[in-house]
Structure 1
Amino acid sequence: MIHEVDEVLKGLLNGGALAGSGVEIAFDAPTREWAARRNAPAVDAYLYDIREDVGRRQRGTVPVRDDQGVVRTRRQPPRWFRLAYLVTAWTKRPEDEHRLLSAVLATLLPHETLAPGQLTGSLANLGLTVPLTVAGPHTEARSLADVWSALGGELKPSLDVVITVPFPAYPEYDAGPPVTEGAGVRVRAVDGTLDDNAERRHRPGHLATGGAAQ
């Protein structure tokens, strides 16, 4: 699932304001050693934090239907996880890096939500809309200063991009066979005999009519 999010983010960054720019999109940790090997403009999206969005957790089960709409299995609702990316620009001059970051903002800001058609693989098959935030306030994720310290690099301008995605929760449970027949209602008249007309009126597919049992 995580690699599919990488593909989605890479596809977004290769479009919009960065389309046709030839800027490389990387997912490496931006360490000093990695930065020293750069010889061409690049935008790096380093996945630095993964944690569950507990506010989205649901209880119970959800039905899984086949192509005919029949419930075949039931499973637990998906668990949602926040994938936080540290997005940085790498060129020879700070001014050019700022232009790249501006292009990243212009590219990602229109995508507050990602429809299933914009996703790939098993992530798209879930049929759920995925939220995306850019440069939002830090809440549960580690501070970016801590991230740079752990990487051993110097603090530089960056964008915090968070994509919150569903991850299927297993196992699945077999559902019972579908109900194909309804229950009939048999009504007795005051003399104890069965009122067949009343029974038909209460069967599924028959429109109930007025009148009292005799």
Structure 2
Amino acid sequence: MFLSRCLLLIVGLSVIGKSCGIYYFLKEGQTKCYIVDEPDDTLVLVKYKNHDAGLNPIVGAVTPGTLPPVEMWVEELSQGVELYNGIAQREGSFQFNTIGECKVCFTIPSEAGWLGTQRSFKLESYIEIGEDAIDYDEMAKVEHMTAIEVEMRKLDETTRGIRKELQFQRAREAAFRNTSESTNSRVAWWSLFTTGLIVALSIAQVVILKSFFKKKKLV
């Protein structure tokens, strides 16, 4: 399984407007995943496309009619909550709001059987996060917004995104600080314990040797 060999990590970019495009080859029966680590309630838009229909393993020809469906799902990692689950034949998009660290996965069910040859498909994923994931043109049409109102909405979304990002980074910093302090405290106590143990063993060794010498009438 691809996830055990390669995990693409998209995490903690310093700018609120974020986007990332990747492409990869996915064989039938394989699963490929990546992680999105963003503040809670951050909008994430995932666009995907299958660039070809694979190669026929027998004649080596492109066979568009046999393109298997691409299964997709999004899962929150800490509690395993499923945020999205869907199937697409060739290309499309979906979106979700984060509730912590999330895993986005793609898989193509195998139709080759035990003795068949697994076909390989080139997939492309494009991720838009935060403000970049909002379609302001569509929003303007639906809400009948003027150009100035659209720009004001963009500014408001950017401000909200910056505020959430700062809170997210502060929370990460606090968690890291607590972990560091806990680790330092454990190291200090372990050092005291090992020092005390060495002193106790040294004293016991001296007492035992002294007792031994007395029995042998050497002292």
Structure 1 and Structure 2 fold alike (TM over 0.5)? no
Higher relative contact order, chain-length normalized (CA < 8 Å, sep 6+) = 2
Give the TM-score, by structure 2 length: 0.24
Give the TM-score, by structure 1 length: 0.24
The structure with the greater share of residues assigned to helix is 2
